Amino acid sequence: METFAEILKYILPSVVVLLAVWYLIKAFLDQEMKKLERLQKSDLQRAALPVRMQAYERLVLLLERMQPAGLLIRVNVPGMNTALFHAALIQAIREEFEHNLSQQLYVSAEAWEMVKAAREEAIRLINSVASKIPQDAPTTELAQQILVQDMEQSQAVTDKAIAFLKKEANERFF
């Protein structure tokens, strides 16, 4: 029994020192790992910043291109009838939107919902006005009525969405 106590007298301090060293090394390595993760995250954010800013820019451009004034001028082709013009307007909005679908990865869900609502509102406005105008009417009549309806809205959904995107971009990046 005495030899066991003698052996324990030498081994026990060694085990305590070993455990203390193991704990210190583990704490140090955990701290270093966290520091490395922070650096990697910082590098990723720095690399992603231009892409995210570009997403906001592209979505604002999309919303601007959906504004009736610019859309009507861009899409109107001489010799079109109202039905073709109506279809071309809707198609232009859908193509612009589909071209920018991937931008939803870089903005908040609320911002993306506002962009979708603006698209739906623009399509609804065009469909609503087109349903009231004869299909053989000149395209200028459809364009004029769309502009009148757009001006009668107190604040267009696209303007609200643009303002929201600007605010969100400023909060996230500046």
Mean pLDDT, the chain, integer: 91
pLDDT at position 38: 92
Residue 115 and residue 62 in contact, taking contact as beta carbons nearer than 8 Å: yes
Over residues 113-171, the pLDDT tens digits come to: 999 999 999 999 999 999 999 988 889 999 999 999 988 886 788 999 999 999 999 99
pTM here? 0.75
Could you count the other beta carbons within 10 Å of the beta carbon of residue 72? Answer: 21
Tokens matching residue 68: 């009736």
Instruction: Check whether 109 has a pLDDT greater than 70.
Output: yes
pLDDT at position 65: 94
Could you count the other beta carbons within 10 Å of the beta carbon of residue 80? Answer: 16
Lowest mean pLDDT among 57-66, 92-101, 150-159: 150-159
pLDDT at position 102: 95
Instruction: Check whether 36 has a pLDDT greater than 80.
Output: yes
Q: Mean pLDDT across the stretch 68-89?
A: 91
Give the Cα separation of 172 and 45 in Å (integer): 12
pLDDT at position 46: 82
Residue ranges of the domains in the chain? 50-173
Instruction: Check whether 75 has a pLDDT greater than 90.
Output: yes
Tell me which DSSP letter residue 153 carries. Answer: S
Q: Mean pLDDT across the stretch 26-46?
A: 90
Q: Mean pLDDT across the stretch 27-41?
A: 93
pLDDT at position 155: 73
Residue 134 Cα distances to 1, 24, 37, 48, 89, angstroms: 110, 82, 64, 50, 16
